[in-house]
Chain A
């Protein structure tokens, strides 16, 4: 299969149309000099990944990403930025200087190289069947509550712990109240 063959498939054009903005947006998240913009690029990156999930037929995961990330997590980020009084305009000290960035970039590229090499070695040009219909949310639910019910319960404990931890951390420390004798 050549690049030409690959490009004749319509699905791959859709893929490129979604994947390139997603990747570029994630690059902007890590390199933008404006805090608010970096977070807004994160919206695009996550929205792109949600669209990619829809393309793979994983409707439920895609819409969950939209709801949880774009709906809630981004707001958390913006509030975090607002409260920590980050400068809302361009600023140079959002990232480390170039002397620190270069080894980081090298490490990232090496990591990508190793992973890409491993993937190409193992999978070659095997194809994914383009899903005919979306995965039914009901079937996912059945699977979660039968096969994966224990991890699901564990996850609920993690969320509970996070809830308690978040409250305990963000609460302002007060002088210990006098205990009634």
Chain B
């Protein structure tokens, strides 16, 4: 033991001597000890792995305690930040490669505090909920170990002051999401989903590595703050490569944040347990891409460095928010609806960052974390009750699950943007920013973004009206007996519902600027337009659009649609359950081209499967088979095959007349085979002898000449 203590104190002294602090004094001890935030969950993850089975609550206790610690620390940091403003950065040198320092560190500023707070608070509630949801799972302890690693990896990512640590966290999140999506690996589909998520992310990660290397090499350092300083001082050649570096890094962010061409993995990732979906969509994983763009915002906001990257970001975000929202309309799996909804909302965030609305994008991330976690956990509560993911097995649940119903309704109101719930404020700010950008910058992409964000609000309201109607109204269609979930699951729901109701009040233009102050405490100035009052003109457009959409959705899918169905078809009302929902779907989407297009996810998954996966996997398998069939077995197959085919052909013509030919053919092939066989006897030792004879000859030749 004393040896261990001595070793630890040696490490401590090493750390103390090597910590290089920027802006000492800012944040005080609270920031100086913020390294505990990523370290505690990482250590706890491994403790659970080894000792979880023997600990109280089989690992759940430790995991929740770790997340509770992060939540408390994150809240403390947020409060301290609002009071004094914290901008601090610490780095420990752990090695040098040439002139580049490899460092591990932690950055504490408005942006990272936001993420600490979100991961801590949302994560804590999701972990509490998971106790009820995962009860009786065969790999309960293992689940909490990898779940804690997931949160820890995200915290490593958001606390990173340099590219190296960011990529380490990035990959930790990737690998633990792989473990979690494939948690129910007895089913082949889930394994495929996990592989799909991992491989899709890997493609994007490759781009991230390239971008990080270009940026770091041209700036001469891995550290973000150093890169920005050199950029502003004009000490870097980054301007020459800035566009390509920015593009490559953005592609990496697109992968993690499931933006348009890389969105395919996220709906399939619903194969994991529902708490995983909730955390993945709210605070970890998909927000990583948005976080990365926000972290590099000092770079992206300067067109002399990033070129026209901002336009690309806007277009990708806008396209994502529209097309993924449309896909949410046709899904039957309630979690998939929410998954496509998340992709669509991420499109809002990305596009907001693209138009330069840093605060608006992060504000939407903040509010979205609460209401989307709420929606997922409520969906999980429903799934827990009816033992099915499909909305065609639900309906009428409002009577059986009142708490779930009301919290889900609050989440829906927040997501579609009903005054005064959280989503109303954040979405409105994004639309206002887009409008402001467009009125100052008459580019096509800018107006494109304004129109699409309003259309997106319409679609969001439409599919959420459909989900609520099909799930909670009408008659119950499932087989299991629905019941309200236990308190350990409903209490987090209520807490998140409270947050989803009030989170928007943190940043009301002209009234409160808490959130703006929170996230703009960065070491580098963020240039953005600051709204002093709500854009009443836009609210007057968006709110009626949303309400109209809700009304249409309610008319189409609500309880009255059953009447609608029976009256149009003229059949009896006692239609059995699946038929009803299918009938309703068909009734609504008779639009010939659009419906198959949406049903098949624009054929993008098929394109990837047929265009990339099969052509690469197929030839490898075929080539292996071919080598096996044709090369490995060549001599015997050739001899036997020639003889056989000759025999068959000859035999068909005439056995007796060409008997001689047959014999000759057989004998010839046999003789050739026998002749060749003399040289390839199949004995290892003779091969060794031959090869050493060759060695002797060549060695002798070398010695002589």
Contacts and interface: CB of A to CB of B under 8 A. Distances in A.
The short answer to whether A and B are in direct contact, CB under 8 Å, is yes
A29 to B, nearest CB: 16
A91 B692 CA distance: 28
A110 B696 contact: yes
Interface string B670-703: 0000000000000001000100110110011001
Which of A103, A114, A115 has the largest number of chain B CB atoms within 10 A? A114
A41 to B, nearest CB: 21
Given A118-B699, A118-B703, A121-B703, A104 B689 contact: yes
B144 to A, nearest CB: 21
Contacts of A110: 696
Interface in A101-121: 103-104, 107, 110-111, 114-115, 117-118, 121
Say whether chain B's binding surface is mostly helix, strand, loop, or mixed: helix
Nearest to A110: B696
B699 to A, nearest CB: 5
A127 interface: no
Contacts of B689: 103-104, 107
Nearest to B693: A107
B571 interface: no
B622 interface: no
A168 to B, nearest CB: 20
A180 interface: yes
A171 interface: no
Nearest to A115: B699
A140 B695 CA distance: 33
Nearest to A122: B703
A181 interface: yes
A172 interface: no
B186 A111 contact: no
A25 to B, nearest CB: 23
Contacts of B693: 107
Interface in B212-243: none
Given A104-B689, A181-B186, A111 B703 contact: no
B696 A114 contact: yes
A179 to B, nearest CB: 7
B692 A180 contact: no
Interface residues of B, number: 10
A93 to B, nearest CB: 15
B703 A107 contact: no
Given A179-B186, A181-B186, A117 B692 contact: no
A56 B692 CA distance: 30
Contacts of B186: 179-181
Contacts of A107: 689, 692-693, 696
B53 to A, nearest CB: 20
Contacts of A104: 689
Contacts of B696: 107, 110-111, 114
A111 B700 CA distance: 9
B693 to A, nearest CB: 6
Contacts of B700: 114
A48 to B, nearest CB: 24
Nearest to A118: B703
Contacts of B685: 96
Nearest to A96: B685
B642 to A, nearest CB: 33
A105 to B, nearest CB: 11
B187 to A, nearest CB: 8
Contacts of A117: 703
Interface string A11-39: 00000000000000000000000000000
A107 B694 CA distance: 10
A114 B699 contact: yes
Interface in A65-124: 96, 103-104, 107, 110-111, 114-115, 117-118, 121
B186 to A, nearest CB: 6
A114 B186 CA distance: 62
B42 to A, nearest CB: 24
Interface string A132-144: 0000000000000
A3 to B, nearest CB: 25
A175 B699 CA distance: 51
Contacts of A115: 699
Contacts of B692: 107, 111
A137 B693 CA distance: 40
Contacts of A179: 186
A104 B686 CA distance: 10
A121 B702 CA distance: 12
Contacts of A96: 685
Contacts of A118: 699, 703
8 contacts: A96-B685, A103-B689, A104-B689, A111-B692, A111-B699, A114-B699, A180-B186, A181-B186
Interface of A: 96, 103-104, 107, 110-111, 114-115, 117-118, 121, 179-181
Given A103-B689, A115-B699, A118-B703, 8 more contacts: A96-B685, A107-B689, A107-B692, A111-B696, A111-B699, A114-B699, A114-B703, A180-B186
